Amino acid sequence: MYRSSEVPREVITKAHFDTIHNYIIPKPEFQGRLMTVNALGYKIVGCPVSIGDTKYQRNALMFNLCFVFEQDVDTINHEPVVKKLASYLTQIELESGFLSAERSQGLIPQFMEKVLHLLNKYGRCSIPVGESITVHLKVTVNISEPPPVLDHDVPILIRDRVRPHHEWDLTTQQVLPYIDGFNPTCRIAVEADVEINLVKSCLQNLLHYNIIKIIPVFQYSNMYTVTSDIKKLYSDLQEQCVLSVAIKGHTLPRLRDIMTLYTSMTHGVTVKDLCCRYNPHGLKIDEKKLIQFGVVKNLIRVLRKYPIVVPSNSEPDPRLRSLYTLFDGLHCLDEICCKVGIGQSELEERIENDPNVRVCMK
């Protein structure tokens, strides 16, 4: 015979539980081990425990407090919590009979409710049980290392307030004044007079703490396209967008004009084309800030150009032959320009005159 408590109730019905209970309270060889059961559209993680003692019916108390997740959830960060909770409950039972005593049966669902609520809301909990034990649990978060910063990457501050200047290390103090959302990493290194690998490490550290974001180099020859997040402009971002893209010293632009510019961005239309067609300054809009805000908020994304060498009987442009190793569809024009120190308009002109090179945009 078994007894079960569930919070919230009826997520898994009794009929369904009966079909999987052999995996929740398994054979002795599985006791004390983490077990994950994929069934009924859920992922159930538990750590079954058996406490042997003659005071219990059949000389043992077997229990398993399981966490139930959606089937596609990665549960690796919760597994140590499940095992630690099993250890706590074992200790509490041995000291006070919390799980087996009739007087405490009504307290178990309350305890489970607190664990569920606090872990979901805060990722941690501290719950006193009895007079001498407090259950401390915390779901650890895996922080992945940010991707490496490249020469052509442009950092932009995404926090209104950062730590006071003097609290940063010396390299960061030198680099911060040149992070304006327009300077690429290679230019920041020159302007700040700091070795470029140190600048990259510094920017990677700022990325880790979510102080900056990496965006593409702004150029009037760039093309952009809207993303599905453009709808946020009419809900969450209206006021912030209008303030951010306005020309200093002018009255605020109309949201309708901002939306017109964003929705006109598509394949084949450069920023220069947009400026010629709509005259953003006449609409009191700073086109650079417009692009910057749109990229940071994921309202738009840049269409990058990737040159590719294709087989041909034509004679290659001698000025490009040395760059063919970079024309593999993996290096964008921004990156190539930074590597070889050439302007993008000049490189595009050479590529256009070389019959062996095609450009893929994505």
Summarised one tens digit per residue, pLDDT across range 62-96 is 899 899 999 888 898 999 999 999 999 999 988 88
Residue 95: per-residue pLDDT? 87
Q: How far apart are CA 252 and CA 248, in angstroms?
A: 9
Which neighbouring-strand residues pair with 43? 38, 69
| Helix (H) or strand (E) run with residue 62 in it | strand 60-63
Q: How far apart are CA 19 and CA 228, in angstroms?
A: 43
Give the rounded percent of residues in the chain with a pLDDT score beyond 90: 56
Q: How far apart are CA 201 and CA 219, in angstroms?
A: 26
Q: Each residue of 267-293: pLDDT tens digit?
A: 999 999 999 999 999 999 999 999 999
Mean pLDDT over the full length of the chain: 89
CB 49 within 8 A of CB 31: yes
Looking at residue 131, its amino acid is E
pLDDT(1) > 50? no
Backbone angles phi, psi at 354, to 5 degrees: -105, 115
Rounded to an integer, the average pLDDT of 247-266 is 94
- pTM listed for this prediction: 0.63
